[in-house]
Chain A
Amino acid sequence: MWEYTEKVRDLFLHPKNVGEIENPDAVGEVGSIVCGDALKLTLRVDRETDRIVDAKFRTFGCASAIASSTALTELIKGKTLDEALTITNKDIAKYLGGLPREKMHCSVMGREALEAAVASYRGEKRPGAEEGEIICQCFGITDQKLRRVIRENNLHTLDDVTNFTKAGGGCGSCVPDLERILNEVWAGQPVEKALKPKRRLTNIQKIALIQDVMEKEIRPLLQADGGDAELVDVDGNRVILSLRGTCTGCLMADVTMKNIERKLKELVSEDLLVEEP
């Protein structure tokens, strides 16, 4: 039994904006019956102002897919196309008071239908639709879509990639490719620049932030290569770390420690020094 919010339940039992606009100005169709969910979005757009005056949907899918469709249409009505495009799948999930992690792909489908509809209105090719290399054959997910959803939702684990995009949830043969893409997205990318606070941190805040960066940024990368690191202590600005797994005794251990230090300097405080116990 899924833990749906009251909002999801309510919008599933009493959906709004169901149907199809006759002679619509824009149509966005995503998903397919084979994959288990599909959404057809039709829009009435005021040509003068580019404003969405009406939006309707038809959805084949589970409760969260139907509720996400109502959320999408409610969120975009009255907005200009450009304003509407700033809506992300996270906004859809937020409107619903949250979705179970495994159901986040329903919110992603809503956002994609919107993109497709806007592209059809503007006579453009739908972004990401035909471009990119298909990574997950079971659900037809391209690397472009994967990269976008991973970035937008700050995804760091394989399970989450599957929860949000479905990729890897079928035969599972693309899992190595998904791991590669996940690593590529986060490797050269200074993630969450905003993480680094401007004001001075208290000791407790500093330790908490170091732990957070360790969990989100550093350990996943090390673990991908069979290694790991454990935060032993924080003494003033000295961060004491112990390398684990394949990192132990690795010839590159010094380089790894320097890289960790750089990351912590970048995301927490310039004053930090990383040491082994």
Chain B
Amino acid sequence: MKVVYLDNNATTRMADEVREAMLPYLTDLYGNPSSMHTFGGQVHRSIETSREQVASLINAEPDEIIFTSCGTESDNTALMSALLSRPDKRHIITTRVEHPAVLNFCKAMGRRGYRVTYLSVNKLGRLDLDELDEALDDDTAIVSVMHANNESGVIFPIRNIAERARSRGVPFHTDAVQTAGKIPVDVSDLNCDMMSLSGHKMHAAKGVAALYIRRGTRFAPYIIGGHQEKGRRGGTENVASIAGFGTASELARNHVASGDDAVRQLRDRLQQGLLDTCPGALVNGDPLNRIPNTLNISFEYVEGEAILLRLNEYNICASSGSACTSGSLEPSHVLRSMGVPFTAIHGSVRFSLSRYTGEDEIEFVLEKMPPVIRDLRELSPYVKEI
């Protein structure tokens, strides 16, 4: 059975062009880019080409990009660098809905004596910026707010947030893992000091990511070792994946620049179709400020894991913020922060599309979903309440 892959916020399929770009470095061109000989040197050249391509995706200069191993490393590096660069400052500002790569890092720093302010969101998943102004003080070392939320898809007003932080002399970091390649991302427009990107969220390989560091930003490395990445990130480069990441960035840039709106149209078709055919469905997250590929929708009185496993029988891949899927016993921290009603919080499903998603896949889901929900409601003791 064909896989209907609607879990692109988790990871994406590798683009064919990316695989082609990687292959030489997995076969003949195995040299170490740090070597003095030509054999290694030509490999180094490919890393610099990739750096230009990644920089170009977010309108940065190549020397403002360092390659890392994953989005989590980029986030951890950015935050740790800010704290190490200003050891006298002991306050971090972030949000309640960050990815664990930022959230759990901040919690860990909280246990080491840092003061952490977690900004709250409203029912639509929007931030209250007055809360940010109140939280900023002379002790603040860093503000970190994600560009768009991975679960709800809600986009935060990064330029506005960055301005508020920078006007107080506080550096600003954004995790743009979920936006790069989906919507225009421009570091000078967003005015941020640091930005995290991840390869496998934009059709490159797993195990490669990048951190943008604006020129002039104080920086302390997180992974300490050799002179790679100009001493800003030690360790022999993941050459093949970096080469693929460069190609993926170029593909992403072309896609965003083309103004192609097909992903949004398919997402909207899915959303409207589900709302029309499944009673007791409600969309989570700000419908006006949302990345175009994401739909987070709750089905009242049914449980998310059960929905996913029924969909799994049709090879439909999605994800859920329900407690049962996470291995924890509480539903998603994002949906809880948004105050999603208790009848709906356990029944959330996230569909996330990519530019490779076909109309037939959306139609297939629209065909299968209503009986799945109806079936599970039949099982539910709360069925009469709909």
A residues with CB within 8 A of B: 2, 9, 12-13, 15, 18, 29, 33-34, 36-40, 58-63, 65-66, 102-103, 138-139, 162, 166, 169-170
User: Is the Cβ of A66 less than 8 Å from the Cβ of B322?
Assistant: no
Residues in B with CB closer than 8 Å to A166 are 329
A-contacting residues, B314-332, CB 8 Å: 322-325, 327-331
**Taking the nearest CB of chain B, how far is it from the CB of A169, in angstroms?**
3
Cα–Cα distance between A12 and B303 once the two chains are bound (Å): 13
Residues in B with CB closer than 8 Å to A65 are 303
Which of B101-109, B250-258, B373-381 binds A? B373-381
Cα–Cα distance between A63 and B328 once the two chains are bound (Å): 15
Sample of 20 more A-B contacts, CB < 8 Å, known A13-B313, A38-B382, A102-B327? A2-B305, A9-B309, A15-B379, A18-B379, A29-B381, A33-B382, A36-B323, A37-B303, A58-B380, A59-B379, A60-B301, A60-B302, A60-B380, A61-B324, A63-B305, A63-B306, A63-B309, A138-B330, A139-B329, A166-B329
B34 at the interface (CB under 8 A from A): no
Knowing A33-B346, A38-B381, A59-B381, say if A12 contacts B323 (CB, 8 Å): no
**Taking the nearest CB of chain A, how far is it from the CB of B124, in angstroms?**
22
Residues in B with CB closer than 8 Å to A139 are 329
Which chain B residue has the least Cβ–Cβ distance from A139?
B329
Residues in A with CB closer than 8 Å to B302 are 60
16 sample A-B contacts, Cβ–Cβ < 8 Å, listed by A number: A9-B309, A13-B310, A33-B346, A36-B322, A36-B323, A37-B324, A38-B381, A40-B381, A60-B381, A63-B305, A63-B306, A65-B303, A102-B327, A138-B329, A162-B329, A169-B329
Cα–Cα distance between A65 and B303 once the two chains are bound (Å): 10
Chain A interface main SS type: mixed
Which chain B residue has the least Cβ–Cβ distance from A34?
B342
User: Is the Cβ of A62 less than 8 Å from the Cβ of B306?
Assistant: yes
B residues with CB within 8 A of A: 301-303, 305-306, 309-310, 313, 322-325, 327-331, 342-343, 346, 378-383
Cα–Cα distance between A170 and B325 once the two chains are bound (Å): 15
Which chain A residue has the least Cβ–Cβ distance from B346?
A36
Residues in A with CB closer than 8 Å to B329 are 36, 138-139, 162, 166, 169-170
Which chain B residue has the least Cβ–Cβ distance from A18?
B379
Cα–Cα distance between A33 and B302 once the two chains are bound (Å): 9
Residues in A with CB closer than 8 Å to B381 are 29, 38-40, 58-60
Residues in B with CB closer than 8 Å to A40 are 381
Cα–Cα distance between A60 and B382 once the two chains are bound (Å): 8
Cα–Cα distance between A37 and B376 once the two chains are bound (Å): 13
Residues in B with CB closer than 8 Å to A62 are 303, 305-306, 309, 322, 324-325
User: Is the Cβ of B310 less than 8 Å from the Cβ of A170?
Assistant: no
**Taking the nearest CB of chain A, how far is it from the CB of B234, in angstroms?**
34
Which chain A residue has the least Cβ–Cβ distance from B330?
A170
- The 9 A-B pairs of least Cβ separation, nearest first, read A169-B329, A62-B324, A62-B305, A58-B381, A40-B381, A60-B380, A36-B323, A34-B342, A36-B346
Cα–Cα distance between A62 and B331 once the two chains are bound (Å): 13
**Taking the nearest CB of chain B, how far is it from the CB of A163, in angstroms?**
9
Which residue in A33, A66, A103, A170 is a CB contact (below 8 Å) of B306? A66
Which residue in B301, B309, B324, B327 is a CB contact (below 8 Å) of A36? B324
Residues in A with CB closer than 8 Å to B330 are 138, 169-170
User: Is the Cβ of A58 less than 8 Å from the Cβ of B306?
Assistant: no
User: Is the Cβ of B382 less than 8 Å from the Cβ of A66?
Assistant: no
Cα–Cα distance between A74 and B343 once the two chains are bound (Å): 29
Residues in A with CB closer than 8 Å to B323 are 36
Cα–Cα distance between A118 and B343 once the two chains are bound (Å): 29
User: Is the Cβ of A33 less than 8 Å from the Cβ of B342?
Assistant: yes
Residues in A with CB closer than 8 Å to B301 are 33, 60
Cα–Cα distance between A9 and B309 once the two chains are bound (Å): 9
**Taking the nearest CB of chain A, how far is it from the CB of B308, in angstroms?**
9
Knowing A34-B342, A36-B322, A36-B346, say if A66 contacts B379 (CB, 8 Å): yes
Residues in B with CB closer than 8 Å to A103 are 324
**Taking the nearest CB of chain B, how far is it from the CB of A67, in angstroms?**
10
Cα–Cα distance between A36 and B323 once the two chains are bound (Å): 7
**Taking the nearest CB of chain A, how far is it from the CB of B247, in angstroms?**
30
User: Is the Cβ of A60 less than 8 Å from the Cβ of B303?
Assistant: yes
Residues in A with CB closer than 8 Å to B380 are 58-60
Knowing A60-B382, A169-B330, say if A12 contacts B309 (CB, 8 Å): yes
Residues in B with CB closer than 8 Å to A18 are 378-379
**Taking the nearest CB of chain B, how far is it from the CB of A246, in angstroms?**
23
Residues in A with CB closer than 8 Å to B325 are 62
Cα–Cα distance between A172 and B381 once the two chains are bound (Å): 29
User: Is the Cβ of A58 less than 8 Å from the Cβ of B303?
Assistant: no
Cα–Cα distance between A90 and B141 once the two chains are bound (Å): 52
Which chain A residue has the least Cβ–Cβ distance from B301?
A60
Cα–Cα distance between A103 and B324 once the two chains are bound (Å): 8
Cα–Cα distance between A34 and B336 once the two chains are bound (Å): 12
**Taking the nearest CB of chain A, how far is it from the CB of B313, in angstroms?**
7
User: Is the Cβ of A36 less than 8 Å from the Cβ of B383?
Assistant: no
**Taking the nearest CB of chain B, how far is it from the CB of A130, in angstroms?**
21
User: Is the Cβ of B331 less than 8 Å from the Cβ of A36?
Assistant: yes
Cα–Cα distance between A223 and B323 once the two chains are bound (Å): 31
Cα–Cα distance between A218 and B348 once the two chains are bound (Å): 44
**Taking the nearest CB of chain B, how far is it from the CB of A57, in angstroms?**
8
Give the one of A2, A63, A166 with max B CB within 10 A.
A63
Residues in A with CB closer than 8 Å to B309 are 9, 12, 62-63
Cα–Cα distance between A2 and B312 once the two chains are bound (Å): 12
Which chain A residue has the least Cβ–Cβ distance from B378?
A18
Residues in B with CB closer than 8 Å to A60 are 301-303, 346, 379-382
Cα–Cα distance between A202 and B381 once the two chains are bound (Å): 55
Which chain B residue has the least Cβ–Cβ distance from A171?
B330
Cα–Cα distance between A62 and B322 once the two chains are bound (Å): 9
Which chain B residue has the least Cβ–Cβ distance from A12?
B309
Residues in A with CB closer than 8 Å to B313 are 13
**Taking the nearest CB of chain A, how far is it from the CB of B19, in angstroms?**
25
**Taking the nearest CB of chain A, how far is it from the CB of B196, in angstroms?**
26
Which chain A residue has the least Cβ–Cβ distance from B300?
A33
